[in-house]
Homo-oligomer: A and B are copies of this chain.
């Protein structure tokens, strides 16, 4: 029964992380399109690159968690790193990226929780 409870909790953490990665991908793709409309400062390249990395890692983590891959924990840990860096970059960009920053932080937390 303890084992069953542990499995259930692990399943819940996976479900939360899959939902968070899904949201984070969507936030990054949308915010990037919005960000590209703003006048491009030199710093924007690094930010745009991070957004693309973050969106792609979220999709990879989502699929590997959906498949209960043996590598789900490792890809979630790396995705958490990318999401955290992306959140910090979004926060520096100002209010227009605040929603994306929140989605990135939520995904980083959810991915860490399955670590």
Give me the interface of A with B, judged by CB distance under 8 Å.
18, 22, 26, 29-30, 33, 36-40, 42, 44-45, 48-50, 52-53, 56-57, 59-60, 62-64, 66-71, 74-75, 78, 81-82, 85
Contact = CB atoms under 8 A, between A and B. Distances in A.
Contacts of A60: 56-57, 60
State the majority secondary structure of interface residues on A. Answer: helix
A14 to B, nearest CB: 11
Contact of A66 (B29, B48, B63, B78): B29
A44 B53 contact: no
Contacts of A37: 42, 45
A38 B48 CA distance: 13
B68 A33 contact: yes
